[in-house]
Structures are given as structure tokens and as C-alpha cells.
Structure 1
Amino acid sequence: MSYAMIRHLRRTAILSQQIRVESTMTNLTQEDFVFRPPMAQWSKIIREAEKIVGYPTSFMNLRWLLSDEFANLAMHLRKIVGSNHPIMKTAKTVLYNEQNNLQPWGLIILLLSKAISPSTHSIQTTTLIEHQRMLAELTEMIRTGHYIHRGLLNISVEEQDQKRDTSMFANKIAILIGDYLLVTANGMLARLRNQDLSYLISTALRDISEGEFFGPRDSQNMPLPGEPVNKNVDNFKINCDTIPLSVTDILGSPISEWTLRNMYNGGSLFGRGCEGAVLLAGKNVAEQKKAYLFGCHLCLAWQAASEISKFSTENQEPFSLVSAPVLFALNETPELYENLKNVKTVTSIDLNDLKAKISKTNAIEKTKRLYTENADKAKSYIEMFGDNESVNTIKRLINTI
């Protein structure tokens, strides 16, 4: 290991340690973003999966963590350590949290790639494996860059003078780091020289961007639930086509609204990443669409599992107002919506009181059914790619609760 790499590792370690201590001050409740399923034995299964793909996927982010550009940006974060800006919580998640930086999306894409790739050793096979690895890395980069961009803090004109040295500077750092990751990911995508793959990923980027403008928001651009409506049909259909996601008559219908929000949040990106791995392997369109649907439903299953865990009695983590339990509870008890419809900031809501009211409804049970439905669909699609070690490991990763 070179001296420069050691220096970068030391600087990143120092920064992450500072973030670990100080970022607990951040109390803004962001919209949840899927990172991993809440599994008790997650690390053990990850280690087994990494043996299959051939290397620890925690190394996948070293290309950008140890680059001069990112190291310089990361060091600027030291200037805002101790502030109450969401970027500190985001940086802690990206740089320090051992559970969250295992990069499960990239690992799933690599496992799927392993399941469909030829077992013979040749130059073509080696090139394919390298291209699929680049796809897994750039998918993770896009996800992380998007997550960092969402850590921006809206600052009113009246507050700009008094917060100029902290929040405004932190916003600039969040924009620069997010832009760096997104530009790097797009550069990797261009180097793959595959027009069809570039088109697939660009549609996912479109969905991510459109999601930032969907539904009501508070003053910090945090999402607020739609007004509950009574509908006989509440089932959002995931379309394999690359056309924009349908937003007609979605708000207020818990399953449809939740599914669309999470497709915007990352389901589309994860699905296209899985689809792209199959495309690179030269499989037909039908196989590619199966991979897309698998990725979408797996992402939704993990999201539902994560939200269920936050409503357990011992869990004190904040939860999103557009999580499935909240949306189901609002639909079941519309009067709960009266306390949310005129909210200016999510942080003004008593989440403990809302959690207690939600626990008196059937929202948690409905969310569990939502998880089961998506997990079963994800398993049915991945089983179409054969019975092998990679597929069996993915099936174990689907079973999260």
C-alpha cells in the first residue's frame, strides 16, 4: 500500500471518528432511503455472499473514497463537524456505519451476474465480469450521491446571515460531494460503451429526479403524506417499460402512494441495475425484464421490513411520515391526517404520540403483508435464473423478517 493511500485512509478514519461523535446532534427526520434489510445475521450472510462473488464488496467504494478529489471534499467536512446539518448524519452513514456501508445493492447485482454468467474462463468472460462489477459500483455511487444531495438544508433569506458560516457552507459541500459521485458514476457508465445500458440507467436517473417533486413537502422538502381517499382498487402496477412512472390518482391510496414513492427513491434504480447486469450478459429482453421486476420487488420488500422494525416497541429511531405504517394508519383513521395536513416542518410533529396512535390500528399488520407480497414476488423472479449458489444466497437475503 502506497504512502498516499495510507494518508488518505488515515484522513478518512479521523473524519469518520469525528462524525461519529458529533453527528448525533442532527435531529432532522429525512425520508427513509433503503440501505439494507434489518437482519440479525446480516453480516454473516454478507460474508458468505462475498465469497461467491470473489472479494469483499466493502472495497467497492475505495476508488472514490481514496481519490484525491473526494479526500479534499471530505476534509472540508471537518469544518462543519458539530453543526446540526443533515450532511453530518449522511457522512456518518456513508463513511463510518459498518452495517450501512456494506453496499447490498452492488452485492445483489454481482450475485445475479454470477448466476447468469458463463463458468468458462476466457477473455470475453473476464471482460463481462469487469463490466458487471463497474455496473454494480456505479449503481451504488448513484444511490449514495442521491442520498447526499437529499441532505441539503433549506435556508430562508432572513436566516442566511446568521447561518452563512455553517449551514450554507455545509450545503455547498453536500452538493459538491453528491455531484462528484454522480459525475464519476456517469463517467464509468460511458466507459462501458453500451448504449442500451446507458439508456436504462438514464431512465432511473429521471425517476430519481422526478421523485423530488412528487407529493406535498414541508419547508425542508421533507415529504408529507397525501390526503387519504377511499378507493376500491389500491395496487400500483410496476411497469417494465422505460416510460415515466404513472402518478395519476396515486396520492392518498396507501399501497399505491408508498410503492410509487419508493420506486422514485431507489426501486427504479436498483431494478435497472439488475436489468443491466442481465443485458450485459447478452440475455434476451424477457430475461432482462424479469431481473428488473426482481430488483424492484426486492427493494420494496427491504423497505417494508425496515419500516416495520422502526415501529417496534424498543426502536426509538425517527420514522418517515410517508412510510407504509403511517399511510395505512391515515387511511384507516382519516382524522389522524388533520394533525399533519398543515404541517410546516416535519420536526414539529410529536412522533412518539403518532407512533402510539398508529400502534392502535392495523397498519403494522398491513405493512407485514406488504413485505410478504413483495418478498414472494422477488423470490419468484430470482428463481427463474436457475438453482445455484448465487440464487440461493439472494433468496436468503430476501428473508429479512
Structure 2
Amino acid sequence: MKRVWHKSVCTLRCSLPIFPSQCARGASTSTWSSTKTTDWNRAVSNAEKIVGYPTSYFSLRCLLNDETSNIAFHVRKLIGTNHPVLKTAKRLIYNGRTNIQTRGLIVLLLSKASGHARKAGLEEERVAGITQRQRSLAEITEMIHTAHLIHRGILNLSNDLFPDATTLKDLQFGNKISVLTGDYLIANASKFLTDLKNCKVVDLVATAIGDFMQSEFIGDHDQQGHPIPYPGMTIQNWEEKNYLSTGSLMSNSCQATLELAGHDEKFQELGFEFGKSIGLAWQVHSDLQPFVDTYRNPPGLPFSLTSAPVILQLENDSSLLKEINYCRDNLEKLDYLKLHTCIMNGDGVEKAKALLESYTSRALAVLNKIPPSEATTALRNIIQALRE
């Protein structure tokens, strides 16, 4: 199919995605990606030393016990089915230090940076300036986030979509594993949450869990439940949805750890704002990867159709929405390569970078109100790694 250009707008037509060869990716892109990954890993590694606790595999530690050993055995049966739960498991195991499992570390760093009010936690033993209850909260944060990722991998299955009985049965089994594993993490998080013996903290974390669920029912979706843009969708709509799905857990967890430290409501609001800003910054950073890291995300692979660069591009080029909707019944037929090219030739990516700069600046502004320390420096380094 030809690409039709008119006033910097390209028109798409549905076709099978094109996967460029590995050799088409430039060596300079590989070097760039390696450098950025090294900077991020260094920032996380140094931060873990400051809090005196390895946080990279919080969620896995909860899963690696006798009660869930059977789940690991059954997950092996899903190899070859391409069920989303396999991808999530792989990311948890092999990418433990990426932003998929760094939320607990942020909670611990903020705990250490903020210290404790005089009357709070005097009876609690502290390691590296952090109480056991705050460490438990950090683990709870990771459990809830991981449970949400696993639950989001549940597929909508039907005989029409998967006429092959064997494939359908395998994917149904994958759904059962996703439900059981996600529910197990939520159940453990709830149990540990009650052990904190703080009603306000329970309320804050419960709010985040509720926001996760609410976010899944906002906007339009395809047959598999994947979000797709709708007419009139703006970046404000993107922020509202992603606050519920990403920012709420971070903001409420950051406020909760300050509550455990005995800080007043005004100071807790700073923690809430910091968590919200860094949570949304994380999401924009993730949304940008298909457009700025083409080594790991070669053009032609599917990407989120409601990511920040896409929505910002749609605000100026609504014709792309028509083409996306043309394939909404089967997004596998959407030509992601051409869509990627359209967005790269527009201003959506640059606007998304500016949005990332805005969120990280807000997070840094909050840190400026906290006395400087090793922990605040570590938080700044993580924010800087998100920016780059």
C-alpha cells in the first residue's frame, strides 16, 4: 500500500505489520540504548545501597515459596502459547532493575529522606533510617503493582477468535494462572497491610487498588480489552486515566510512608504530589520508548495506541484516528510501521518529551522542600535517568 502525504499528514491503510531486519538498526542506537540502561541500573544500584535493602525482586520473593511452587510448574506449560503472563514473568525475572520493580525503592528512599517526626516510631527498630513497617509498605506497593500487571494480561477468549481447540484451551489455562497469581499477590498485600495497624494507610492503599480497577473501564477498547483512542481524546484524558492506573499507587504509597513516620498532613501532601509526578513521569518515559529506543523497539512492532506521543499527535492530526478505528476489530491488521512513521514525522514525540520534563520538574520541586541527603540525591539521580 502506498503512503499518501498531504500537508505533513500521512494516511494509513490496514496491512500486516512489517518487521524490519535486525541489521537495519544502527550501531549508534545500540550504543545509546546501552548507555541509558547503564545509567539507570547505576542509579538504582546506588539507591539500594543507601536504603540498605535490595528491592529489585520484591514481588518474586513473595511468589517463591511452597504455596506457589505449583504455579511456577504450570507456567512452564504455557511456553509456546504467547500468553501475556509469560511476558510479564520474563520482565520480572530478567529485568528486575528496570522501572517495572522500582516503585518500592522510591517509597524507601522517600522514607529515608523525610526522616521521622519526634513522636513517631520511637519504639520501632530502624535500619538505614527506615522502619520495618515502611519496608513492608514498600513490598506491598510492589505486590499490588505486579498483581495489576498480571491481571491486565488476561485475554478475552472465544471460539470465534481462536477456532483451534488446543490453542484455546492453552490460553484459557494461561488466564487461570493469571487470575490465581494476581489474586495471590493481592491477598498477601492485604494481609501485610493489616499488619501495619494504621487505618489511614489501609485507606490510602485501598484507594490505589480501587483506582487500578476504575482505570480499566475508562475509554474505548478493542475486542481483547486493549485501550484505543476515541474521538476528542486529549492529553488531559490521558493524564486522568494514567493517574488512576499508574500515579495513584505511587502517590498514595508515598503519602502512606510519611503517615507511618508521623508527619503532619501538610508534609504528607508533599509526598502525595511527589508520588503522582514521578508516577506519571514513569508512564511518559515508558510511552516514549517505541519512538526513542528503536533498538529494543524496532519500528513495526505493536505499541500502545493510547500512549502520550500518539495522543499528542492525534490532537493535531485526527485523520490517524480514523485509520486506527478502521482496524479496531483486529489490531493485528494495523500497519504499525506506517503509524510509527507518521508519529515520528509529527510533533507528538517532542511534545511527549516536554511533558516528561514537566512531570520530572514537579517531582524535583518537591525534593527541594526536603533537606538534602544521600536519599534525596539518589531520588534526583533516578529522576535524571528518566529524563534522559
TM-score normalised by structure 1 residue count: 0.80
- Mapped to 1, the partners of 2:56 and 2:98 lie a distance apart of 10
Partner of 1:295: 275
Superposed counterparts of 1:138-217, under 5 Å: 138-158=140-160, 159=162, 161-217=165-221
Offset at residue 318 of structure 1 (A): 3.5
Contact 1:297/1:378 (8 A) holds in 2: yes
Contact 1:152/1:171 (8 A) holds in 2: yes
SS at match of 1:82: coil
Partner of 2:249: 269
Aligned length: 340
C-alpha change, 1:320 and 1:60, in structure 2 (3 Å) is same
Which of residues 111, 114, 127 is equivalent to 2:112? 114
**Cα deviation digits, residues 346-396 of structure 1 (max 9, x gap):** 322111110101112111111111011101001101222221110111011
Contact 2:193/2:202 (8 A) holds in 1: yes
- Mapped to 2, the partners of 1:261 and 1:118 lie a distance apart of 33
Partner of 2:383: 398
Superposed counterparts of 1:18-97, under 5 Å: 39-61=37-59, 63-97=61-95
SS at match of 1:385: coil
SS at match of 1:384: coil
C-alpha change, 1:162 and 1:151, in structure 2 (3 Å) is same
Contact 1:57/1:106 (8 A) holds in 2: yes
Contact 1:271/1:296 (8 A) holds in 2: yes
**Cα deviation digits, residues 250-293 of structure 1 (max 9, x gap):** xx11x212211211222101111111111100001111111011
Superposed counterparts of 1:182-331, under 5 Å: 182-228=186-232, 252-253=233-234, 255-312=235-292, 313-314=294-295, 315-316=297-298, 318-331=302-315
Contact 1:225/1:322 (8 A) holds in 2: yes
Letter of the 1:323 counterpart: S
Partner of 1:347: 332
- Mapped to 2, the partners of 1:395 and 1:349 lie a distance apart of 40
SS at match of 1:298: helix
Offset at residue 162 of structure 1 (A): 4.4
TM-score normalised by structure 2 residue count: 0.83
Contact 1:57/1:102 (8 A) holds in 2: no
Letter of the 2:172 counterpart: M
SS at match of 1:306: helix
Contact 2:229/2:306 (8 A) holds in 1: yes
Letter of the 1:273 counterpart: S
- Mapped to 2, the partners of 1:371 and 1:278 lie a distance apart of 26
- Mapped to 2, the partners of 1:278 and 1:171 lie a distance apart of 37
Letter of the 2:263 counterpart: K
Letter of the 2:149 counterpart: Y
SS at match of 2:228: coil
Higher RCO, 1 vs 2 (CA within 8 Å, ≥6 residues apart): 2
SS at match of 2:313: helix
SS at match of 2:218: coil
User: How large is the RMSD of aligned CA atoms in angstroms?
Assistant: 2.1
Partner of 2:32: none
**Cα deviation digits, residues 166-193 of structure 1 (max 9, x gap):** 0111110110001101111111101111
C-alpha change, 1:39 and 1:107, in structure 2 (3 Å) is same
Contact 1:294/1:381 (8 A) holds in 2: yes
Partner of 1:383: 368
C-alpha change, 1:100 and 1:346, in structure 2 (3 Å) is farther
**Cα deviation digits, residues 149-173 of structure 1 (max 9, x gap):** 1111111144474434301111101
- Mapped to 2, the partners of 1:55 and 1:394 lie a distance apart of 15
What fraction of aligned residue pairs are identical, expressed as a percent? Answer: 37
- Mapped to 1, the partners of 2:71 and 2:378 lie a distance apart of 37
Contact 1:227/1:341 (8 A) holds in 2: no
**Cα deviation digits, residues 47-98 of structure 1 (max 9, x gap):** 2111110122135335313211222211110111111211111111123334
Contact 1:94/1:101 (8 A) holds in 2: no
Offset at residue 101 of structure 1 (A): 7.8
**Cα deviation digits, residues 13-52 of structure 1 (max 9, x gap):** xxxxxxxxxxxxxxxxxxxxxxxxx654111111211111
Contact 1:216/1:224 (8 A) holds in 2: yes
Partner of 1:27: none
- Mapped to 2, the partners of 1:171 and 1:186 lie a distance apart of 22
- Mapped to 2, the partners of 1:197 and 1:92 lie a distance apart of 31
